Amino acid sequence: MSEDLPIIGKDALGRVIKDWSKKPWWGIDRKKIEWYPKINYDKCIGCGLCFITCANRVVFDWDKEKKKPVVARPYNCVVACTTCKKLCPVDALEFPDREYIQKIIKENKLLAKAKEILKNHNLI
């Protein structure tokens, strides 16, 4: 649960930052999954949508001098989430290809694990 995660500070907006890298994803060490945004600063206009929108996981910090976001806590990013990329008006955020996460799902037999969870809760 997120309540068990260590609090590591607050961001520029005063939001509490938890260290989500400590929580495995489907039993996989989060730091072994290279899923997080990368910012193309040649495109970034510093609108702040990514920084403000990523409120729960607080992946981004704000560079006050450059007036642009910084990926400060990459492993706080929810695996397979691309919300910030979808919101970016200038397509300045990049993520790994879909095939990258599909390979992790297959190698770790996550579909079978998901099906077992659903069965255990009488959902299928």
What's the structural domain count of the chain? 1
Question: Is residue 121 included in any domain, yes or no?
Answer: no
Q: Look at residues 42, 41, 1, 45 and name the one whose alpha carbon lies nearest to residue 23.
A: 1
Q: What is residue 2's predicted lDDT score, i.e. its pLDDT?
A: 63
Query: What range does the domain containing 90 cover?
Result: 2-96
Is residue 90 within 8 Å of 43, Cβ to Cβ? Answer: yes
Q: What CATH number has the domain bearing residue 24? A: 3.30.70.20
Q: What is residue 15's predicted lDDT score, i.e. its pLDDT?
A: 95
- Provide the 8-state DSSP code for 23: S
Contacts of 124 by beta carbon, 8 Å cutoff, 6+ apart: 115, 118
Dist. CA 26–CA 113, nearest whole Å = 9
Q: Mean pLDDT, consecutive 10-residue segments, the chain of 124 residues? A: 85 96 97 98 98 94 97 97 97 97 97 97 96
Dist. CA 81–CA 78, nearest whole Å = 5
Q: What is residue 56's predicted lDDT score, i.e. its pLDDT?
A: 87
Each residue's pLDDT tens digit, 61-87: 999 999 999 999 999 999 999 999 999
